[in-house]
Amino acid sequence: MKEKTIDYILRATWQAVSRMYNEEASKYGASMSIGFALLSIDKENGISSTALGPQMGMEPTSLTRTLKSMEEKGLIVRKKNPVDGRGVIIHLTKLGKEKRELSRDTVLKFNEVIKQHVSAEKMQHFIEVADVINDLIAEKKIFNNDLTD
């Protein structure tokens, strides 16, 4: 193919971003998924384990593995849900909160550098295109046989 397809560009870019974050996280004995989980857990109130997976877009098996690793590293503790004893609330430890700030700073640095190299107008177009792609997928309009829309 002479031209790169949209999905190729998205996939290659995401793989590059993922590699970059994993390389940075490995300096601190972590991974991109751990950093993302740290950012997804409310600093003060924690988050239910059932809410965390969908928020992160992670499969249950991968989430379980990530949470187990985080627990082993002393980043999180699991506590019974006071409202529903069957559920678990995941809370950040003091170390988890420190690593969360490190993850936050890393993401902000990435955004800052990109914004230094991409105009505000181009960034807005990028966001708009991403929104259209996500909407088309969510509304199942890509592979829908009904071509009336």
Edge-to-edge strand order for the sheet containing 88-92? 47-48, 88-92, 76-80
Cβ atoms < 10 Å from Cβ of 43: 13
- 11-43 pLDDT, tens digit per residue, is 999 999 999 999 999 999 999 999 999 999 999
The pTM of this model reads 0.85
Q: Is 146 helix (H, G, I), strand (E, B) or coil?
A: coil
- Residue 140 has what DSSP assignment? T
Distance CA 48, CA 50 (A): 5
- The mean pLDDT value of the chain amounts to 93
